[in-house]
A and B are shown apart, each in its own frame.
Chain A
Amino acid sequence: MTVPTTNTIGPKAEPGARENPFSGSGQEPLQTRIKQLAKSIPGPVIGLIVICIAMSLLSPYFLTPNNLINVLSQVSYIGMMAVGAALVIILGGIDLSVGSTMALSFMATAFLYKEVGLPFLLAMICGLILGAFIGLVNGLLVTFGHVQPFIATLATMFAGAGLALYITNGNPVIGFPEWFLGLSRFRLMGIPLQVYLMLLVFILAALWLRYRPSGRQLYAIGGNEEVARLSGIGVRLAQTRVYVIAGFLAALAGLAVGARLDSAQPTAGSASDLLSVIAAVVIGGASLSGGVGSMFSTFIGLLIIGVLNNGLTLLNVSPNLQPVVIGVVIVLAVISDRGSLPLKRT
């Protein structure tokens, strides 16, 4: 009646063996090993390679050094903004105002130079400070105002865009100092200065994210804000700082564009630029819920955008269709990235 019934009682499993439900055991056939290796190459890199191959087959002009340098040059300003946007997204927020901050800060620079008569270098510095200031406003709205980042930066985006138009009544400003325009024409080993600037920004951000506590904190806060707070991390300070950086980088991007075009456009940083920035970050694999992402993957996403836009132009596709293609690529990128870490345990 009370006789206990037993089946086989096996030996206790080795420690660690049952911890990871997804680890295989011992020797794996070559086929699975190749598959595992393939899985470890990030999807976006494969995507980039595929697109490059496709473009080089479709157009003879694509793979020329001149064209490739062109691609990098054209996306430099997007890249600078994308670094800022990626930092904010890793933190768990979002910054929709990068485009309008780019326009507004350079408009302010142009205005101070042309109308107020400040020396251009000083006007440039003021523009950069303005960008950082807009970032500060975003940061304070999110941390102390408790406004959701989407709404806060949406508001600054509209306000910023409006102010940019207001400063010169919607008129572009032209005629900047020769040394400034020369900066964008200057080439080192055939590559323009702004590309180096963009790469420098990427590298500094990547190093910061990996090796400095204040950078690493972004992942912690993005992953779980409460855990970060209970670990003694100054969450509000870190959040505000990141928005300021994003604003500053947007202003920097504005300088890059202004130097290239020799004009300050009040409608710069429009919706399609914002789309490219966010697309670069998302295609690169960052998660909009925060805690995931890297500068390398954002760079790959940026290259994908650049190559697509460039390739489609070479193929004479209407510029109106280019955002459509980008949209499709974003969806494909997110869907194919499902193999990554599931955030909820099943």
Chain B
Amino acid sequence: MSILSTGPDSLNRGPLTEDIKALKGIGLTKQYGGNTVLHGVDITLKAGTVLGFIGENGAGKSTLSSILAGIKTPDAGEMWLDGAPYAPNGPASALNSGVAIIHQEIKMVPRLSVAENMFLGRWPKRRGRVDTASMAEQAEAALAVLGARIDPRRAVAGLSMAAQQEIEIAKAILRDPSYVIFDEPSASLGQEETEKVLDQIRILRDRGAGVIYISHRLDEISAIADEILCLRDGRRAMAWETGSVGKDDMIRAMVGREFVYAHQAPQPAEEDVVLEVKNLTRHGVFRDVSFSVRRGEILGMSGLVGAGRTEVVRTLAGADRADAGTVTVEGRAVAIRNVSSAIREGIFMVPEDRKGQGLNLGRSGGENMVLPWEKTLTASGFVTNRTVKRVEREQAVELDIRGNLNIPVLFLSGGNQQKVLLAKWLVRKPKVLILDEPTRGVDVGAKAAIYEIVRKLAAAGVAIIVVSSELEEVLGLSHRVLVMAGGRQRGILTRDEALPDRVMELSVP
């Protein structure tokens, strides 16, 4: 036993564990102001394995990953890399030591080429000039390892999220990292693209890298992980040395109590049609979309990323203009020219990007909620602080929003942000409520709460359209499912017909 090992119980406490190469953190602690987000957490990432990393939002996963990747420094604790002390003083230093992180929100310079983005900050030079040829060659090689078919010389602008993700992974490969952390890589990807990312991670693992895979999608964790670590409230809650762990067990560890994550059968819908859409078309984007939604019905919209679902609902909500087709609300043909005319007809949309399109991050919860309604909040037309607070309080109770609503929503957790965004569109009762990816980046607890809200609204007679890339979510919530692919409508299935393989079949262009 090495004299360096400490701690009474676990053999894993020392920096040298058997002969296995690993990235270890011991007793990592981090505080912000008076708030401790990590309480002495231990983590061991062995080379050649994938560690699934789960936990609710706010549990400390991002903070722990940031510390491992050199983005933040711990207030206490130590780290060891392959047996040697590891204390990076910045992400560059961590990269040089062989630890890379792939963030959830990828930022690239759109006008530069793929290769230039991959070599950002360290463009190779030859005789004083940037060596574009060598850059492109190396970029191509890295992309080839992943099986990505992207021309390294083209500009990044216009590439899909999925392609950008591949580039980001290739960028990490170039540095030949020993350890790679993936922070919710599938958050903005559809089923097929996620499969690809998982394959690429397997490639990395087989090449000997240790991979941390952070995700809320528990089936992905089961699919890819060799070991699983669960954090709760900044502490280790549970760890498994296998990837095949039941979902219920994972959820119980994340949430700390018995939790039934079962989709209940939705209430039956009423007969009268609220929204009727015929041959809705936007040139070059989607064509001939036709469907109807009844009072109290939940229509799910399924399909791969890029199938056109968001575009269709944006057109219904007035964010974009249709080129052809008719929209009828409660039997009356309506012309939706802009968002305010859609609102007037009772069609409200909760957009998919809550930070970029849904909420004003610098303003408080109450101010965000009243934004579409300021003109009609009071009889006098003057908006006072008291009025805003009243709305805020009512909605907080109605939707069970925890978290300080007096501070900018920037500081709220993903789940609470989403609730504030929902509250914004429930200040007045909609006729048709469109929800675009309502539980993206939201933890399990808040997810269940949001489903409850949706079901209550349907029971109250609101016609609801839910766009979601999570098949289980769509199937669990909807009465019927509309499947789109490549801008065309492929079919509308009833709940019984909407089996996963059938939906997938229709989703593939």
Contact = CB atoms under 8 A, between A and B. Distances in A.
Interface string B178-204: 000000000000000000000000000
A10 interface: yes
Contact of A212 (B35, B240, B382): B382
Kindly name the residue among A23, A25, A227 whose own CB sees the greatest number of chain B CB atoms within 10 A. Answer: A227
Contacts of B412: 19
B32 A21 contact: yes
A218 to B, nearest CB: 12
A212 B381 contact: yes
Given A23-B34, A213-B374, A213-B381, A227 B362 contact: no
Nearest to A14: B402
Contacts of B235: 7-10
Contact of A4 (B35, B39, B239): B239
A6 B241 contact: no
Interface string B20-49: 000000000000111101011110000000
A341 B362 contact: yes
Interface in A188-218: 211-213, 216-217
A4 B240 contact: yes
A211 B408 CA distance: 20
A127 B256 CA distance: 71
Contact of B383 (A213, A233, A341): A213
B245 to A, nearest CB: 9
Contacts of A34: none
Interface string A7-51: 111101101111111111100000000000000000000000000
Nearest to A345: B410
Contact of A231 (B339, B384, B408): B339
B340 A230 contact: no
Given A212-B381, A220-B371, A291-B362, A16 B403 contact: yes
Question: Range of interface residues on chain A?
Answer: 35 or more
Interface in B383-405: 383-384, 402-404
Interface stretch (B85-93, B144-152, B353-361): B353-361
Contact of B360 (A6, A220, A345): A220
A226 to B, nearest CB: 5
A335 interface: no
Contact of B33 (A19, A24, A219): A24
A12 B233 contact: yes
A32 B233 CA distance: 27
A292 B235 CA distance: 38
Contact of B371 (A9, A24, A226, A231): A231
A182 interface: no
B124 interface: no
A343 interface: yes
B37 A20 contact: no
B339 A224 contact: no
Contact of A216 (B37, B58, B374, B424): B374
A2 B240 contact: yes
A170 interface: no
B27 to A, nearest CB: 10
Nearest to A229: B339
Question: Range of interface residues on chain B?
Answer: 35 or more
B412 to A, nearest CB: 6
A234 interface: yes
Q: Is the interface of A mostly helix, strand, loop or mixed?
A: loop
Contacts of A15: 402-403
Interface string B339-360: 1101100000101000011111
A5 interface: yes
A244 B284 CA distance: 38
A232 interface: yes
Contacts of A228: 360, 371
B372 A231 contact: yes
Given A12-B256, A216-B374, A21 B403 contact: no
Contact of B416 (A9, A19, A231): A19
A16 B402 contact: yes
Interface in A139-190: none
A212 B374 CA distance: 8
Interface string B300-322: 00000000000000000111000
A224 B363 CA distance: 11
A321 interface: no
28 contacts: A1-B241, A5-B239, A7-B235, A10-B39, A17-B35, A18-B35, A18-B413, A19-B404, A20-B35, A20-B404, A20-B411, A21-B32, A21-B33, A21-B35, A23-B33, A23-B404, A25-B34, A211-B382, A211-B384, A213-B381, A216-B374, A219-B363, A227-B356, A229-B319, A230-B319, A233-B340, A233-B372, A291-B360
Interface of B: 10, 32-35, 37, 39-42, 58, 232-233, 235-242, 256, 317-319, 338-340, 342-343, 349, 351, 356-363, 371-372, 374-375, 381-384, 402-404, 407-408, 410-413, 416, 424
Given A343-B361, A345-B410, 13 more contacts: A15-B402, A19-B404, A19-B413, A21-B33, A21-B37, A22-B33, A212-B381, A219-B363, A223-B361, A224-B361, A232-B340, A232-B343, A234-B340
Interface of A: 1-2, 4-10, 12-13, 15-25, 211-213, 216-217, 219-220, 223-224, 226-234, 291-292, 341, 343, 345
